Amino acid sequence: MNSDQNHSPSRIGLFTAVSIVVANMVGTGVFTSLGFQAVDIKSGFALLCLWIVGGVFALCGALSYGELGAVMPRSGGEYHYLSKIYHPALGFLSGWVSVTVGFAAPIALAAILFGSYSSCVFLENCTEADGLKKAIALVVAIGISLIHTRNLKVGSSFQDVFTALKVLLIVVFIACGFFLGQPQDISFLPTPTDSQLIFSSPFAISLVYVTYSYSGWNAAIYLASELEQPEKNLPRALLGGTAIVMVLYILLNFIFLHTTPISALEGQPEVGYIAANYIFGNIGGKIMGLLISLGLLSTISSMVWAGPRVTQVIGEDIPFFKLLAQKNASGIPYYAILLQLAIVLVMVITSTFETVTTYLQFTLILSSFMTVLGLFIHRIKNPDVPRPYKTWGYPVTPLIFLGVSLWIMIFVFQGKPWASLAGLATIALGLPIYFLAAKNQLASSDSEP
C-alpha cells in the first residue's frame, strides 16, 4: 500500500476511528445503571471499582483485538477473524448475527431512545407521545443512513462533529459537577469492609451490567479496510477510544456520587437526570436530556457506519450475496446500508428491538470470546507471520478478558436461559443459509470451463 493511498481523502483517519469507538461505547448505560448498583453497594470506593474493573476488561479486549486487526487489516470484524482462524462457516455465523440483528437492534433502540429524550427536552408532556417518538426514530434512522451513503468524507465529518459534541458536553457536565455541585457525605477511599463488597454477589451482578455499558470498544475493526495505515491506526483507535471512555465513565460516576445523595440514586434508572437536577436545579433534567440526545446521534451514526461493512465483506467472499458487496460511485456499500436500514425500520415499527437486544447479549459475548481465544490459536498456527502490533501483557491480558467473558456468559445463561438459547437458535438459523450459499458457490465453480 503506497503512501498516497494511505493518506487519500477517501480513507478514514485516526481521529475518526477513535470517534467511532467512543461513539459506539457511550450510549445510555452510564447514565442509568448506577442507581441499581447503589441498592446493595453503598461504598463510593467499591462503586468506582466497578467502573475501573469494567474498563480494564474492555482494555484487555481492545489490546487483543488490536493485534488481530493489525495482522489481518480488513473490514468485517469477527466475521473476518473467525473465518481465517477457525473456519469460514464459523465466521459466517458471527457475521450472520451482525447482519440480521447485531447492529440493527441497537440502532433501533438508540433511535427510539433519541425520540424519547428529545421529545422530553422540547415538550412539556412527553410521557404519552409514543407516536411522535417512533416518528422521530424513523426520521433519524433514515436521515443518518442516507448521510452515510454519500461518501466517506461526509460520513467522517458527521461522526467527528457529533462525537466531539458528546465528549465536550460530558466534560462540561463533569466540570460543573466539581464546581457547582454540593459535595455529599460519601468517601471514595477504601475501608476494611470494601474487600468483602468487591468479592460479593451484588458486585458480581453489577459488573455484568457495567461491562454492557463498555460494549462497543471493538467498533473500529469493522472499518479496517477503509483506515489510513490500518496496521498502526487500528490498535491505536481501539486502545485510545477505550481509554477515553474509561476515564469519562469513572469521572461521570464520581460526579453522580459526589453531587447526589446515594439515597436519591438507589433503584432509580434516571441517574443522569437526578444528578443534573442536583447540580443545575430545575433545568437539569432538560440539560441531561439534551446531552443524551446528542450523544445518541453519534452512537447511531457509528453503528450505521460499521454494520454494513460486515455485510459488504460477506458479499465479497460469498458470490451468493455479491449484490450486498456492490459500492456506489463514492465507494460506499450502498445496498448493505439499505438492507440494514430496512431491518431497523421494521424493528422500530414493530417494537421488537428490546426482545432482540435481550437475547443478543449472550451471542455477542460468545463471539468476542471466540475471537480473543483465536489470538492464541493464530499465534500457534502462524508463528512466523509479521505482527505490526503485539498485544501488550500477552498472555495475561487476553486471559483476563477470556476469564471475565466466560464468567459473564455463565451468569447470563443462568439468569436468562431461554433468551440465551434464543440467541444460539438465531446463530443456528445461519447454518443452512451458509451451506446453501457454499453449495451454490461450488456448483458455479464446477460449471466454469
Q: Which regions in the chain score pLDDT beneath 70?
A: 1-10, 123-129, 440-449
Residue 153 CA: distances (Å) to CA of 10, 149, 306, 393? 7, 11, 15, 36
Domain at 3-442: CATH code: 1.20.1740.10
Q: Which residue type does 72 have?
A: M
The pLDDT value recorded for residue 418 is: 87
- Where are the chain's structural domains? 3-442
- Angle (CA) 322-323-325 rounded to 5° is 65
User: How confident is the prediction for the chain on average, in pLDDT?
Assistant: 86
Q: Which of 426, 372, 390 is nearest to 85 (CA)?
A: 372
The pLDDT value recorded for residue 447 is: 44
The pLDDT value recorded for residue 126 is: 61
- Asked if residues 226 and 13 have their Cβ atoms less than 8 Å apart, the reply is no
The pLDDT value recorded for residue 434 is: 87
Torsion sign across C-alpha atoms 40, 287, 299, 231:
negative
Entry pTM: 0.86
The pLDDT value recorded for residue 372 is: 96
Report how far residue 403's alpha carbon sits from residue 294's, in angstroms, rounded to the nearest whole number.
35
Report how far residue 78's alpha carbon sits from residue 83's, in angstroms, rounded to the nearest whole number.
8
* Tens-place pLDDT, residues 232-248: 899 999 999 999 999 99
C-alpha cell at 224: 479496517
The pLDDT value recorded for residue 6 is: 42
